[in-house]
Structure 1
């Protein structure tokens, strides 16, 4: 009963998020777009690097579950694989998630990776279990212009998803349009390793990342086949700048992509 309630909460929150971040399309489309009122600049993006085999991660996973239900946060969980040797293979881990964390490590000039690590807006990292640090940093970045500066509006027709990225104003003028796919919440019983005996519910576990295009500081439109979106459990778009070496940089805009 408790789990059913939590799943219902997630579905309701995700519906609100989609409603909040979907946007109106341009006039004159050949097909009528399905759009809703939107707030196209969420407070921020939280990327949690976690593992089912990490004894320090359950508090961060619980806090992340709260973030995932907030309509003004784009929350994504990347399960990494480097703790699998401790006796339990993370059922949601992906090598690509570990690679993304190592890319952030190099971008930040860090000497090592750790879990639970929360990367906020692609700009800083903090302990993912420390809600005071996470909430405080998101608020500070929003006030200082390091939050979501570029509007991202999402709409769809019968056969495609349309992403409209706004103008840059000032600051970085080149970024990747990154599509991140994730799972709906699921409960895992951990049978071995440091968290043996625990039953955990994991939210927004990332299953794939792809670059859909480049953005150069001016308003631009991108289209994706809707057939690709419906195959996934959930989907978000990040407008993320990158360094000359290809390492991930600040996230300038973000939104959830509404599944039909």
Structure 2
């Protein structure tokens, strides 16, 4: 079990000053605009009656400069007459990892996860908003850009257990979709920052390490998440330029 002392040590070391070698490399630029960030993830479905309001709440969160807001489409409402247009099995797998690591007994929607925390947050806009405001920000991951546009993630610190590095690509901003059947039949549903692809890049076992990040698909934005194992809390995160 990771102690709070070791967590603080990892996060402090991950944001220590760059080495002399790094500082002497003028062709690289650090992309982080601030030292800390909060991450709000929403597991949502086009067939879920409460999800339209949750989607709008996520869009509200996304207006804040220090919040990375991500929506994951899940497919278990498809049995009620409408196939979700954004859902992918790997998104359900991510939600299941949170459920297995935390308080919830099963997957559900809308399901907010804040900074990877395992607490079960039943949907209530005021409650979720208060929980986000009370959440402790996490360090912004150190990502550098070379002259050729290549992005590299740098990590350092001790790890008692491996941390997972995830690259998440999403369609930025608001999209609307007409729902023709199912529980939300007739609704023109608003979506925000819908995830379109997720890739586990590597496990980080501690020490100084660098990871070359993949290119982002045209029309999408991307973030990198460093996570304390499956369904664990987020150790750091960053938007990718």
TM range (shorter): 0.7 to 0.9
TM-score (norm 1): 0.75
Q: Quick check: 1:182 aligned with 2:170?
A: yes
Q: Quick check: 1:52 aligned with 2:46?
A: yes
> What runs of 5+ residues in structure 2 fail to find an aligned partner?
1-17
Which one of 34, 40, 54 corresponds to residue 39 of structure 1?
Answer: 34
Distance of 1:136 and 1:85 partners within structure 2? 33
Report if aligned partners of 2:47, 2:80 keep a CA contact under 8 Å in 1. yes
Report if aligned partners of 1:163, 1:222 keep a CA contact under 8 Å in 2. yes
Distance of 1:182 and 1:172 partners within structure 2? 31
Alpha-carbon offset, residue 110 of structure 1: 3.1
Distance of 1:165 and 1:152 partners within structure 2? 8
Q: Deviations over 1:180-223 (max 9, x none)?
A: 11123321111111111111221111122112223344453221
Aligned pair in 2 of structure 1 residues 65, 140: CA closer, same or farther (>3 Å)? Answer: closer
Q: Which residue number in structure 1 is paired with residue 204 of structure 2?
A: 215
Corresponding residue SS for 2:83: coil
TM-score (norm 2): 0.81
Report if aligned partners of 1:40, 1:255 keep a CA contact under 8 Å in 2. no
Aligned pair in 2 of structure 1 residues 174, 212: CA closer, same or farther (>3 Å)? Answer: same
- 1:48-197 matches, cutoff 5 A: 48-123=42-117, 124-127=119-122, 129-142=123-136, 147-148=137-138, 150-157=139-146, 158-165=148-155, 167=157, 174-184=162-172, 185-197=174-186
Name the structure where helix makes up a greater proportion of residues.
1
> What runs of 5+ residues in structure 1 fail to find an aligned partner?
1-23
Distance of 2:97 and 2:127 partners within structure 1? 22
Distance of 1:248 and 1:90 partners within structure 2? 24
Q: Quick check: 1:27 aligned with 2:16?
A: no
Aligned pair in 2 of structure 1 residues 139, 166: CA closer, same or farther (>3 Å)? Answer: farther
